[in-house]
Every structure is written in C-alpha cells, then in structure tokens.
Amino acid sequence: MAFGIEAEKEVIMKANKKDVLTGSYYIDGDVAAAYGAIAAGCKFVGGYPITPSTEAFEAFVHRAPYVGGITIQMEDELGSIASILGAVWSGKKAMTITSGPGFSLMMENIGLGAMLETPFVLLNVQRSGPSTGLPTQAGQADMMQSRWGANGDYEIIAISPDSPQEMFDYTIKAFNLSEKYRCPVMIMADECVGHMTEKVVVPEADKINIEPRRFYKGPKEKYLPFKPDKDLVPPMAKAGDGYKLHISGLTHDEKGYPTFSQTPDTKRLVDKIRLNADKIIELNEDEIDDADVVVVSYGITSRVAIRGIEQARAKGLKVGNLRLVTVWPFPEKRIAELSKKVKAFVVPEINYGQIVYEVERCAHGNANVVLVPHGGGFVHNPEDIFKAIKYAAQEKKKVEGIIEHKTELYRLIHEKNS
Amino acid sequence: MNKKTVEIRFAGYGGQGIIRSGIIVGRAGAIYDDKFTTMNQAFGPEARGGACSSQLLVSDDKILYPYVAKSDILICMAQEAYEKFEPELKNDGLLLYDLDLVNLKNKRGKVKLYSIPSTRFAEELGQKIIANVVMMGFFTAITEVISVDAMKKSIPESVPSRFVELNLNAFDKGYNYGKNLVK
C-alpha cells in the first residue's frame, strides 16, 4: 500500500496523530474518503450534500469538531467551491464533495482555483447522467468534464479509486498531489465505490506521508505570488501574514497583477502538470509483457474487468490489464509504447465513450481500439468485457477509429428499433 | 462453501434492519474472521421504506465483482422481498425465511429451505426490531459462513450498549433454533 507520494525533501512530514483514527473499520467508500481527508490534514469542507456523496459530507461533519475542523453546508455548489478556495488561501487544507449536476455547478470556480494555483481536493462520487440522471446509481461519465470543464487552458490531476480502502488511501494522495503541484485534484469515484462497504485499514499516523504546503520562506519584500520554483510551482503565502498578495482570475504576471496578453504564468498552468506527468502518473499493470490485448480501465470498472480478463485467460488468450489509478494526466507515453506491441486495446467504461478517445489518440493507429460502453445505472456485465476481448484478439484487420462493442444492452435497444 | 465467493442477499422491507444485517455480518467476516467481504445496498431515488435488500459477498480471496449475480443464500423477512428475489436464488441455493411473514409459492428443485419464526421470537424477547438479529443467529447456525465468535464481536458495534445483552440473547435464540434443525 502506498500512502501519499514520496517526498523529495529531506524532512518527510507525517500525519498528525490526532487526525488519524488508526484501526480496522467496516465502512463505505464515502466515509473512507472523509477519514482520508482528515488524516491528510483537511480542516475545512464546504459542500452542498448530494446523493451519492452525502455520506462523505456527513462523516466529515461528525469528525471535524474533534480535529479542529469546520464544515459548512453552503447555499449551493457555487458557494461550496468558492468557500474552499477561501479556506485554502487562509492557510487551511480544504475539500469539497459533490456529484452529478453539483459537479457542473462548480465548474466556474474550478477554473478560478486552477488560475490562482490553489491546492484543493474535489471528491466527485459520480452518478449516472446527464442532468439529474440516476441519482442513486453509478456512472463514469464526468471524466472529460473533470479535465476541462471550466473555460480556458489548465490541467488538473484526477484519481479513480476502486474500493473503500483506496478511497482512504487516494484521498490522502490527492491532498499530497494538490499541495505539491498547487492545482485542483479530483477524486473521480463513482456511486458503486462510494456506497460499497468493505474493510478499511487506517494505518498509524507515522506511516502516512503528508506533503506540507509550499509556504514562501524568503524576505517579505521580495515575495512574488506567482514566481515559480524549478519544478514550475510557486511557493504560497497566506492571507493575513503581511505579504503583498494580489491574486485574481485575470491573466496575471509574477506579481499577480493583471496583464493585457498571455504570460508565461498561464503556460505554466499546463506545463507544471504536463512536464511532471511521469512523476504524477500511477498505473497498475498485470501480465502486460506478452499480451495481445490490453484492457484499459479505471475506478470500479477496473475491478469488474478482471472477471472478464480471467475468463479470457482461461480460454488461453493473452490479456494484459492496465488500470489507470491516475486518469489525468493521461499516460500518453505508455499507451503509445504498448500500441506498437499489442493487437488491440479494450476500454470498458460506464459511459458511451470518453477515456477511449484518449486511448485511440495515443494508439496512433498502431492497434485497434475497442470500446465497451455502458450507459450507467450499474456496472458492466463481465461477460460483455470478455466478449470484447475475444473479438479484439481474433480481429485480423486494422480498423480505423473506435470499434464499439455491441453489448447486450446495445442489442436490446437496436433490435427493438429495427 | 470455501474457496469461492458466497453470494448472500438479505431482503425484507424498510425498518427491519436489513441493511444493518448486511453490515453486521459483513463486518464479522471482514474484521473478525479475516475474510474478504463486500456489502452493497440498492435503493431507488424515492424515500426509504418499501422493499429493501442488501447484498453481501464473502470470499477467501479479493472480491472483484461487487454485486450478487445469483445468490447462494437468500434471507427473506417479507413476502414482497421473497417474490422479488426468489428467482435470483441458485437452483441448489439456500433459502432462509421468516415462517410467519413469508408464504412459499413454488418449491424449486434442489433449493434447501429453512424457516424460523424470527419476528415472533423477537416479540417474545420484548423487541420486535431485533427480529433481524434472531435471523442472523439462525443464518450463522445453518450456513456456517461466518463464525459465531465473529458475529458476537460484530453485533455490539452496531447497537447501543444498553441493548447489547438483548441483542446477543436474540442472536442465541436464533442460533440455537437453527442448530436444532440441522443437528
């Protein structure tokens, strides 16, 4: 188990004992995420409870008073995300929790957060959409929205957990990444993982690495709020400590003052993630080396897919499993590299095609790309994934574009209409 | 029933402690019996109440697919739940049900049937709401999927301290009734 990222500094900070409820629990993924946030040192959640993420908000409410934390139920999602940006600039670690249309409402200030290089975590327990959709059932259709849902150029980091244990572990990782790169980090969970109850082991506080905020340490008069360190990330000051702090959503220079043209600082918003992608990306790979077909998946689907993969392996097919722990930044290099060795990628996801576009782009026409879509409401039938693998292994032709696997659901819809 | 995933569904109506049963049994397995268990509850967008069920998977290995596809064990505490979930039970599955609340309709081939007046027993013990605990005792005795020790450690974590004794008594009542049946 990896808790947080490897700190590059000499002093590795550990979690605060008071924040960590060491022990074994039988809790759902939502609650585990709240425990993880608290262990990471999160002291503020501003949110507007929405199914299926409500349990995470509630769990934070219950624990917050014991760790000096505050929770505010805001008037709506616009207020929720705005409140956490304010909390972060006051020096705290903060998170918001949402789902479905709540996520859409947060878009504008996600952009502000990215522009101000505000480290924060957003937990999206994805439900099926669009709009109100299926509030109590799973979806994975906010993946593209999570990347560029706000206006303008920026990059974020997104992580997709597949179990309550990972909801705990990766919420800590999300906080650490957000502090390290000063960017929004999204935990793109789903209803299934959020509502699933399993054993969660909360380790001792000294086993949990914590990335501290990058506070500026030089002389006050020399502080420039957007002057980056070598890794392209600027150190922060907090409001009220006597620094000249000018931060605004306008395109700005190193001082934070508005400019009339693009500056290196806006390019930095994408470069600090793109150029550090190798350090950020986390993948789980299994039997990739001699594989003919590689299944690429994330979140709950990566668990369900293993059933289809095992079924295919039992029939003698060489199938590798590539699970995206971090979905953004996308592992472009790895997919490109694999595309030269494998016949095809199979991409199951609980949507009608999102991450599959990235896989297709990075495959550069070297390998076929098969989408196993699922409209949401439930997880895939592993049988559909197995059949897609079987097809992908047998297909001799190079097929241009994305091949949509005809799932049972597809057949039901189209036979009915014909 | 070792070496593979046992798929269990608890079903009844809202307020019977159906979800709670899933959590107690799941926790007993995961925390105290050192197995892998995954518990899921399905509910619609409407307010709680009406038919409800929880799904529990118990395995010696990591659980991948987190839902019940075909149940090995179905526990029914209401007629509606029985009618809805009986078809999902495997042909050689186990059906445990409340004798007074469920009327069996068709009896399928190799399905094994065990019944207990769990609600009546609970009323005799003084609290109708502990019928699910009586049923959990019965379940533990008949199926042996989860150990008695683990169950007795898990139950107190889900009930207020002043009711622990009552709940453990209810568990024993169901357990002993079950053990007598399979003796």
- Asked whether the beta carbons of A339 and A363 are under 8 A apart, the reply is yes
How far apart are the two ends of chain A, measured CA to CA in Å?
A: 51
Q: Is residue A238 pLDDT above 80, yes or no?
A: yes
Provide the pLDDT for residue A417: 67
- Residue pair A50/A191 in contact (Cβ under 8 Å)? The answer is no
In this prediction, residue B49 carries a pLDDT of 60
pLDDT at A2: 42
Percent of chain A with pLDDT strictly greater than 70: 97
pLDDT at B14: 83
Return the CATH number of the domain spanning residue range A283-417.
Answer: 3.40.50.920
Q: Which residues of B touch A199 (CB under 8 A)?
A: 30-31, 36-37
Q: What is the CATH number of domain B6-182?
A: 3.40.920.10
Instruction: Collect all residues with Cβ–Cβ distance below 8 Å to A23 and sequence separation of at least 6.
Output: A201, A202
pLDDT by residue, tens only, chain B of 183 residues: 345 899 999 999 888 999 999 999 999 999 999 999 999 987 655 545 677 899 999 999 999 999 999 999 999 999 999 999 999 999 999 999 999 999 998 778 899 999 999 999 999 999 999 999 999 999 999 999 999 999 999 999 999 999 999 999 999 999 999 999 998
Q: B38 and A306: CB-CB below 8 Å?
A: no
For A5-39, what is each residue's pLDDT tens digit?
Answer: 444 445 679 999 999 999 999 999 999 999 999 99
Which tokens go with B94?
A: 């186990």
From chain A, the residues in CB contact with B66 under 8 A are 192, 196, 300, 303-304, 379
**pTM (two decimals):** 0.95
CB contact under 8 A, B64 and A306: yes
The enclosing H or E element of A186 equals: strand A184-190
Domain ranges of chain A: 13-210, 283-417
Q: Does B43 touch chain A (CB under 8 A)?
A: yes
CA distance A231 to A272: 7
Whether residues B65 and A307 touch (CB distance < 8 A) is answered with yes
**In the prediction, which pLDDT does A7 show?**
42
Each domain of chain B, given as residue ranges in start order, spans 6-182
Q: Is the pLDDT of residue A266 over 90?
A: no
ipTM of the assembly?
0.94
Q: Is B47 on the interface with A (CB under 8 A)?
A: no
Note whether B64 contacts A: Cβ–Cβ < 8 A: yes
Q: At A74, is the secondary structure helix, strand, or coil? A: coil
- What values do phi and psi take at A274, rounded to 5? -60, -45
Q: What is the pLDDT of residue A1?
A: 38
pLDDT digits (tens, 9 = 90+) for A39-84: 999 999 999 999 999 999 999 999 999 999 999 999 999 999 999 9
**Residue A69, both tokens:** 């934390």
Give the closest-approach CA distance of B33 to chain A in angstroms: 12
Interface contact A197-B64, CB threshold 8 A: no
Q: What pLDDT, on a 0 to 100 scale, did the predictor assign at position B107?
A: 79
Interface probe with B: pick from A1, A25, A26, A27, most Cβ of B within 10 Å: A26
Strand partners, A187: A123, A159
Determine whether the interchain pair B45/A135 forms a contact, defined as Cβ–Cβ distance below 8 Å. yes
pLDDT tens digits for A356-409? Answer: 999 999 999 999 999 999 988 889 999 999 999 999 999 999 999 999 999 887
pLDDT digits (tens, 9 = 90+) for B105-153: 877 889 999 999 999 999 999 999 999 999 999 999 999 999 999 999 9
| 3-state percent helix, strand, coil for chain B, nearest multiple of 5 | 45, 25, 30
Q: Mean pLDDT, to the nearest integer, of A115-121?
A: 97
Fold of A13-210: Rossmann fold (3.40.50)
List residues in chain A touching B: CB distance below 8 A.
Answer: 24-26, 51, 134-136, 192, 195-199, 300, 303-304, 306-307, 378-379, 382
- Window B:80-139, CB contacts with A under 8 Å: none
pLDDT (tens digit per residue) in A147-192: 999 999 999 999 999 999 999 999 999 999 999 999 999 999 999 9
Asked if the Cβ–Cβ distance from B26 to A379 is below 8 Å, we say no
